[in-house]
Amino acid sequence: MKYTTLPNTNIKVSKICLGSMTWGNQNTEAEGHAQLDYALEQGVNFIDTAELYPVPATAEMSGRTSKIIGSWLKKTGNRDQVVLASKIAGPGDYTAHIRKTGFSPNAIKEAIDLELKRLQTDYIDLYQLHWPERNTNRFGIRDYKHDTKWEDNFNVILHSLDNAIKEGKIRHIGVSNENPWGTMRYLEESKKFDLPRMITIQNAYSLLTRTFETDLAEVSIRENIGLLAYSPMAFGVLSGKYIKGNASNNSRLNLFPRFARYSGEQAAEAAKHYLKIAENNGLTLAQMSLAFVNQQPFVTSTIIGATNLEQLKENIDSIYITLNDDILDQINVVHNEIPNPAP
């Protein structure tokens, strides 16, 4: 395994982070525990969850994923061997079953306390805001439309998170599904008022979604706020299984076709080109897709997810693959012809 540190800390994390959003829905507790056991054996020490998980989010299943991690921590006693990341859900129609108060001080306190109980731990290493409160271009929306109803509350949010840090409930903080303006506002507010600093940003990044490179990559590198890249496999599209027609009935897009972000014609066409490049170079599409993300200079860790141990092994083993300049040049030819087909 390869390791780095969370930016501006001495916390050592694996360059592969174990994602968990299928646990409790597509995966049982026993399967989640098996994935955790295997990942830890392979040197993965970084685990990501959220109060929203599993996805799709429902009132009945909310928090199941973290409970699975919590029962594993209790069973194994491995809390000191892993770095735990979790997230508070932002406001939205599909999170109303969790709460309707956004990132208010009481909401942040409640969310952290409930998550600690589910995880059966005294502290969370990295606590993230799952998406902004304000309406902005996120989750596949390309164009910005100004939100006239939102009032700036960056300072209030940081003070609430600061209180949780001082209480020892969380160690560090990050953002997710955030854009350059929001990221810089948090950094500005932290510096001006000596408040905790966002150290990571968890956004989508893959061969089909490279929009992070347009603005946020510079912010990431210059401000030392590391990307935790999620959906590097584009909901399995970059495994090649949908192109080849051998996806199982339990695959994500077969179970939940409404998750169409990576299912458009352009995304499928780009994936076919990437599959050809991978096969011509003796790689699987999954290996190439993950290796591409792993070696980007702004990526702190790549969040992988799997529904079985075979997939998990292939995903973790991607850390040992380095793409040469010739392969990268071929990838960029496709990217220039079909740029960011999945926003």
Active-site residue set: 53
List residues bridging with 47 in a β-sheet: 18, 84
Q: Which two tokens stand for residue 54?
A: 């599993």
Q: What's the rounded Cα separation, in Å, for the pair 107 and 179?
A: 23
Q: Could you tell me the end-to-end alpha-carbon distance of the chain, in angstroms, rounded to an integer?
A: 31
What is the radius of gyration, based on Cα positions, of the chain?
Answer: 19
DSSP assigned state of 138: -
Q: Is residue 319 within 8 Å of residue 16, measured between CB atoms?
A: yes
DSSP assigned state of 187: H
Q: Is residue 84 within 8 Å of residue 119, measured between CB atoms?
A: yes
Largest CA distance in the chain: 55
Q: What's the rounded Cα separation, in Å, for the pair 315 and 290?
A: 7
Q: What's the rounded Cα separation, in Å, for the pair 252 and 237?
A: 10
DSSP assigned state of 119: H
Residue 8, C-beta contacts closer than 8 angstroms, at least 6 positions apart: 197, 199, 224
Q: Is residue 126 within 8 Å of residue 6, measured between CB atoms?
A: yes
Q: What's the rounded Cα separation, in Å, for the pair 92 and 258?
A: 17
Q: Which two tokens stand for residue 89?
A: 């859900």
List residues bridging with 172 in a β-sheet: 126
Nearest to 108 by CA among 161, 174, 38: 161
Say whether 336 sits in a helix, a strand or coil.
Answer: helix
